[in-house]
Amino acid sequence: MRVFTFDTTLRDGTQGEAVSFSAEDKVLVLHKLDELGIDYIEGGWPGSNPKDKEFFELAKGITLKHARLAAFGATRFARNRVQDDASVNALIAAETPVVTIFGKSWDLHVHRALGITEEENIEIISDTVKYLKDHGREVVYDAEHFFDGYVANRDFALRTLEAAKKAGADVLCLCDTNGGMLTSKLSEICADIRRKFDGTLGIHTHNDCELAVANALAAIDRGFQHVQGCTNGYGERCGNANLTTIIANLELKMGHVTIGREKLATLTSTARYIAELANLPMRNDQAYVGHSAFAHKGGVHVSAVLKDSATYEHVSPKTVGNRQRVLLSDLSGKGNVLYKLKQHGLEDRLDDTARRELLDRIKHMEFQGYELEAAEGTFELVVRQALNPGVQMFEVVSYETISRNTGSSATVTLKVQDQLHTAAAEGNGPVNALDLALRQCLANLYPEIANVRLTDYKVRVLDNKKGTAARVRVLVEWTDHRRSWATVGISENVIEASWYALTDALRLELMRLTEKDDKIGKAVEDYCWGV
């Protein structure tokens, strides 16, 4: 069955906490969703705020390849004639081919929120839909709070749909606005509506019971052909139905057609692109498109996946544009290490004993609190040291820091190529001073080290019940202007933990410079670890 997709990220999604798009951002999202193959894109409420008004002005000059742009609004105010209602006329002025309006389906809202009679509410719905149809618009009627209204007063809820249908609405979309309907009950109601109404029926669900996706799929099972939601599940309170997940389930699990299998391979990149524009981190555990959606950590799982990925993957990650990842940790088995090395032709450089020692070291580091999933630089250093036993690049003889209210200083002594090198530096803080002094010690012998820059610095307390005596994990991000990586240090002393992260980062870069084996870097890089 063909199921039409309706993305409301730019309207309902922006009602979510911390979600905000500029008018220019909205244009970029509009193009991206159009490229994905979404059928309808709801751009906002032109009568409600200057930003949405600006967006619809910008949109007038845009030609979409596939999608139809929708403007959103409400039925007319009870005191207004429809032709005099400013909000309704703003929908006409937006000049979109599609208009979505919501009306009241729950008698509680009619009496309490609007303070009008049920008959007046029916008239409002009919007038508004007819007016929009008379102006040549495709009309999607959102029956707000429909399921709660159906449970409270079935006859009235049905009459509201009948009013919209008779006035010419192209789609009747049932909304679980409060997100509180259980799937079994929602499915039962949808079946009743499907029996009573022909034409296109839609579903719009919220995630307050974490059932939004399940509820949307249940409606499709009952013959509904139009589904609404937001990319990445953005939206008010607990969010809207995650349209990204719905699309994948409809295409891969239920045999329906939405954006098509070819476009499905761009689902992950689209979801991540929109998350970047929203300036929100992608949930690692998000189904299909999250970084962890096809990540394997347990040794038993990895061993099986290496033989046949179907053992622990319900679909191929390539179908949605994602990728398989194998993580290293204290849960790792031998298969995890072999996977990383074998993938880039490095397994022959380590015998069984060396592999076992590498795994034992990784497990011990994770036990201490190192998080190698987030510190691919530290992992790469461990691998390079295993492949080059005895190579340290430099030996730390001593280091010290002094902090005053006017600033900090550090002195570092290293043994490099059998010679002692000492340097002192002033910095904005003790870590900055140590970083500068460490570089000065290495700069004469390794001038390329000047290209490495610290770009981010995070501290996490590992056992907070010990207060200021607790162990901390310092995670530091670096760049050499070609790539980025992270290193980690653990200690009860935050300066010492920072020092470990500093020295590991520079030791790694020196090993890269002296042993230019791209296979090692790629073996780490392929897993896209993020901080």
Contacts of range 349-353, beta carbons closer than 8 Å, 24 or more positions apart: 349/387, 350/386, 350/387
Instruction: Return the beta strands (E) in 86-157 as ranges.
Output: 98-104, 138-144
Return the number of other C-beta atoms located less than 10 Å from residue 128's C-beta. Answer: 28
Q: Work out the end-to-end distance of the chain between its first and last CA atoms, rounded to an integer number of angstroms.
A: 41
Return the number of other C-beta atoms located less than 10 Å from residue 466's C-beta. Answer: 11
In a domain, 326, yes or no: no
Contact 10, 30 (CB under 8 A): yes
Task: Decide: helix, strand or coil at residue 145.
Answer: coil
Q: State how far the Cα of 142 lies from the Cα of 173, in Å rounded to an integer.
A: 5
Same domain as 271, residue 404: no
Parent domain of 12: 4-278
What CATH number does the domain containing 179 carry?
3.20.20.70
Task: Decide: helix, strand or coil at residue 55.
Answer: helix
Same domain as 189, residue 59: yes
| b/e burial code for range 394-423 (CB count within 10 A of at least 16 → b) | bebeebebeeeeeebbbbbbbebeeeebeb
Two tokens at 209?
A: 């019971």
Which amino acid is residue 336, in one-letter code? Answer: N
Last residue of a domain, one of 260, 278, 296: 278
Q: Walk along the chain (531 residues) in steps of 10 and give the mean pLDDT of each run.
A: 98 93 93 97 91 94 96 95 95 97 96 93 97 98 98 98 98 98 98 98 98 98 98 97 98 98 96 87 91 80 76 93 72 58 67 79 76 71 81 89 90 90 92 92 85 83 72 84 82 92 89 70 43 22
Q: State how far the Cα of 219 lies from the Cα of 209, in Å rounded to an integer.
A: 16
Two tokens at 317?
A: 């990650």
Q: State how far the Cα of 38 lies from the Cα of 190, in Å rounded to an integer.
A: 24
Last residue of a domain, one of 220, 253, 278: 278
Contact 323, 300 (CB under 8 A): no
Contact 170, 132 (CB under 8 A): no
Return the number of other C-beta atoms located less than 10 Å from residue 470's C-beta. Answer: 14
Return the number of other C-beta atoms located less than 10 Å from residue 497's C-beta. Answer: 25
- What pLDDT does residue 334 have? 52
Read off the DSSP letter of residue 206.
Answer: B
In a domain, 355, yes or no: no
Q: What is the total count of domains within the chain?
A: 2
Same domain as 270, residue 399: no
- What pLDDT does residue 529 have? 31
Same domain as 402, residue 265: no
Strand 419-427 and strand 453-461: the pairing is unpaired
Same domain as 406, residue 274: no
What CATH number does the domain containing 506 carry?
3.30.160.270
Two tokens at 341?
A: 């090395």
Cβ neighbors of 399 (< 8 A, separation 6 or more) are 410, 411, 412, 413, 434, 437, 438, 499
In a domain, 352, yes or no: no
Same domain as 95, residue 232: yes
Cβ neighbors of 354 (< 8 A, separation 6 or more) are 386, 389
Which amino acid is residue 81, in one-letter code? Answer: R
Q: Which helix (H) or strand (E) holds 252?
A: helix 243-252
- What pLDDT does residue 527 have? 36
In a domain, 306, yes or no: no
Task: Decide: helix, strand or coil at residue 186.
Answer: helix
In a domain, 101, yes or no: yes
Of 363, 381, 334, the C-alpha closest to 476 is 381
Q: State how far the Cα of 51 lies from the Cα of 26, in Å rounded to an integer.
A: 10
Residue in this structure with the two tokens 């906002």, named with its chain if needed:
44
Residue in this structure with the two tokens 């199921």, named with its chain if needed:
3
Last residue of a domain, one of 224, 244, 278: 278
In a domain, 316, yes or no: no
Q: State how far the Cα of 154 lies from the Cα of 98, in Å rounded to an integer.
A: 29
Same domain as 402, residue 270: no
- What pLDDT does residue 335 have? 58
CA distances from 458 to 198, 461, 473, 501, 530 (A): 57, 10, 8, 11, 13
In a domain, 257, yes or no: yes
Read off the DSSP letter of residue 509.
Answer: H
Two tokens at 104?
A: 């009241």
Same domain as 218, residue 84: yes
Residues linked to residue 201 through DSSP beta bridges, in sequence order: 172
In a domain, 238, yes or no: yes
Two tokens at 122?
A: 């029916």
Q: Which helix (H) or strand (E) holds 401?
A: strand 395-404
- What pLDDT does residue 500 have? 92
